[in-house]
């Protein structure tokens, strides 16, 4: 089977909502497979927008720009979860878009997402929606302190989370998540005293085929993913449970595309789901070098109905280290030669136009015989980049 464009004269074109690093890495795989890419983003010169002539720079809230983007595309996917389902519904009047509006409605609100998982017997931390300080303090009485207050929508890299240590903290959290006297929708969640954080990527295709990636360990610094170790150092039983749970999560939201399922291993070794991302995920960047088929290739295969590729690792172990912005200023490092002298690493730079503290500017992946070996090389290489 070959992918044919709706307009037979042009190359099959994958449209991506968003032009960041995830779109860039999907685009790299698309070009290798002989596809064309269209990008819609607010503003020019995004990491992926710079790669194509089919760049639409007014964003999807601009009707004319959105219509032009749809016209240029044969199928559409997304690289972040902050897109109104109505926009996806509109696009689907003309061409396929995955993940679907229905999936995004399940996922976008973390309370709705956890409710779907809970209803499907997927283990999640105790949680509740909290509209008032009184409701939050009742949650604290019932489940104990500390607990988390999370914004139900638009949270990322920990920006929507507040750890409440005692009853007095609750009003601070509520104040933090309100502006102009308007309270954002909030939820409370029991604090999981985790041994480690795990993640599993799952591809699920239009034809119902499923491909599950290895279970990895993720290490967050200030709530931002810093290191990923593949495979995670867990038992075979835990691995099977984590992979089964991840698949169940994707099925419960009827997901088509690629999904990153974030989990905790609690102090008893139980696996508990934190959240799902309906797109390529930072915890899956290692798959570019370490697996037969990367997460970025499998999302293309999944949404177009092509057979999914093998998720098997081609090295015993891998480690990915994020290059997080250390300062405000240029996004281009001053010197990478030392890093590149480590022969066993791959350097990825996203070409973001500016850097900011904690911003994801690139990443390094190392393969090794053990995760320890891969970790040591990846850390040394990342530290030797001069910003």
Ligand X SMILES: Nc1ncnc2c1ncn2[C@@H]1O[C@H](COP(=O)(O)OP(=O)(O)O)[C@@H](O)[C@H]1O
Q: What residues line the site for Mg ion (CB under 5 A)? A: 262
CB of 264 vs ligand X, minimal distance in Å: 7
Distance CA(251)–CA(202), nearest Å, equals 10
The residue (of 93 and 268) whose beta carbon lies closer to ligand X is 268
Backbone angles phi, psi at 263, to 5 degrees: -140, 165
As to burial, measured by CB atoms within 10 angstroms (0-12 exposed, 13-18 middle, 19+ buried), residue 1 is exposed
CB of 259 vs Mg ion, minimal distance in Å: 13
Q: Which of 191, 270, 309, 332 binds ligand X (CB under 6 A)?
A: 191
Tell me, what DSSP letter sits at residue 51?
A: G
CB of 224 vs Mg ion, minimal distance in Å: 10
CB of 340 vs ligand X, minimal distance in Å: 31
The residue (of 50 and 126) whose beta carbon lies closer to ligand X is 126
CB of 305 vs ligand X, minimal distance in Å: 30
Choose the one of Mg ion, ligand X, none that binds residue 99, judging by a C-beta under 5 to 8 angstroms depending on kind: none
Distance CA(30)–CA(180), nearest Å, equals 44
Terminal CA-CA length for the chain: 46
Q: Which of 19, 49, 99, 125 binds ligand X (CB under 6 A)?
A: 125
Binding track over 144-163 against ligand X, x by CB under 6 A:
----x-x----xxxx-xx--
The residue (of 90 and 191) whose beta carbon lies closer to ligand X is 191
CB of 275 vs Mg ion, minimal distance in Å: 5
**Which residues are bridge partners to 216 per DSSP?**
199
Cα-Cα-Cα-Cα dihedral sign, residues 248, 253, 254, 255: negative
Choose the one of ligand X, Mg ion, none that binds residue 197, judging by a C-beta under 5 to 8 angstroms depending on kind: ligand X
The alpha helices in the chain, defined as continuous H runs, are 21-32, 63-72, 85-92, 101-108, 110-119, 133-143, 167-176, 236-252, 287-290, 295-304, 337-340, 371-383
The residue (of 123 and 155) whose beta carbon lies closer to ligand X is 155
CB of 199 vs ligand X, minimal distance in Å: 9
Nearest to 371 by CA among 216, 199, 196: 216
How many residues contact ligand X, by CB under 6 A? 18
The residue (of 55 and 275) whose beta carbon lies closer to Mg ion is 275
Q: 20-31 burial by CB neighbour count: b if 16+ within 10 A, else e?
A: bbbbbbbbbbbe
The residue (of 31 and 156) whose beta carbon lies closer to ligand X is 156
Binding to ligand X (CB under 6 A) within 211-240 occurs at 220, 223
Binding to ligand X (CB under 6 A) within 252-311 occurs at 262, 274-275
For the beta carbon of residue 252, count every other beta carbon within 10 angstroms.
Answer: 18
Coil, helix or strand for 345?
A: strand
Rounded (10°) angle between helices 101-108 and 85-92: 170
The residue (of 91 and 187) whose beta carbon lies closer to Mg ion is 187
Q: Is 143 in the site for ligand X (CB under 6 A)?
A: no
The two tokens of residue 320 are 């990915």
- Residue with the closest Cβ to ligand X? 192
CB of 278 vs Mg ion, minimal distance in Å: 12
HSE (CB half, 13 Å, CA atoms) of 336? 15
Helix, strand, coil fractions of the chain, as percent rounded to 5: 30, 30, 40
Q: Is 51 in the site for ligand X (CB under 6 A)?
A: no
Question: Residue numbers of the site for ligand X (CB under 6 A)?
Answer: 125, 148, 150, 155-158, 160-161, 189, 191-192, 197, 220, 223, 262, 274-275
């Amino acid at each position: 089977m070959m992918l044919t464009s709706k307009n037979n004269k042009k190359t099959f074109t994958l449209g991506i909502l968003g032009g960041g690093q995830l779109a860039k890495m999907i685009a790299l795989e698309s070009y290798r497979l002989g596809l064309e890419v269209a990008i819609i983003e607010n503003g020019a010169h995004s990491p992926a927008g710079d790669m194509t002539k089919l760049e639409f720079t007014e964003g999807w809230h601009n009707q004319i720009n959105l219509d032009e983007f749809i016209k240029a595309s044969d199928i559409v996917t997304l690289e972040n979860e902050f897109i109104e389902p109505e926009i996806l519904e509109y696009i689907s009047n003309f061409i396929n878009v995955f993940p679907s509006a229905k999936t995004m409605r399940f996922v976008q609100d973390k309370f709705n997402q956890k409710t779907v998982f809970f209803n499907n017997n997927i283990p999640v931390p105790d949680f509740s929606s909290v509209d008032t300080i009184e409701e939050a303090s009742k949650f604290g009485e019932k489940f104990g302190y500390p607990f988390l207050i999370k914004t139900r929508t638009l949270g990322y890299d920990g920006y929507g989370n507040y750890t409440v240590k005692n009853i007095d903290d609750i009003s601070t959290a509520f104040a933090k998540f309100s502006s102009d006297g308007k309270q954002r929708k909030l939820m409370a969640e029991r604090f999981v005293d985790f041994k480690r954080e795990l993640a599993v990527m799952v591809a699920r295709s239009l034809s119902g085929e499923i491909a599950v990636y290895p279970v990895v360990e993720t290490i967050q610094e200030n709530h931002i993913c810093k290191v990923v170790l593949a495979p995670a150092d867990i038992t075979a039983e835990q691995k099977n449970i984590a992979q089964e749970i991840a698949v169940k999560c994707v099925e419960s939201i009827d997901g088509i595309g690629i999904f990153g399922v974030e989990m905790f291993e609690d102090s008893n070794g139980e696996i508990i789901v934190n959240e799902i991302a309906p797109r390529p995920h930072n915890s899956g960047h290692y798959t570019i070098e370490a697996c037969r088929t990367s997460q970025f290739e499998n999302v293309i295969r999944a949404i177009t109905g092509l057979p999914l590729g093998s998720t098997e690792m081609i090295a015993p172990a891998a480690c990915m280290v994020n290059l997080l912005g250390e300062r405000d200023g240029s996004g281009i490092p001053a010197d990478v030669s030392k890093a590149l002298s480590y022969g066993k690493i791959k350097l990825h730079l996203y070409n973001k136009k500016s850097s900011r503290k904690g911003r994801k500017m690139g990443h390094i992946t190392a393969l090794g015989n053990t995760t320890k070996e891969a970790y040591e090389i990846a850390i040394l290489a990342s530290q030797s980049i001069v910003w």
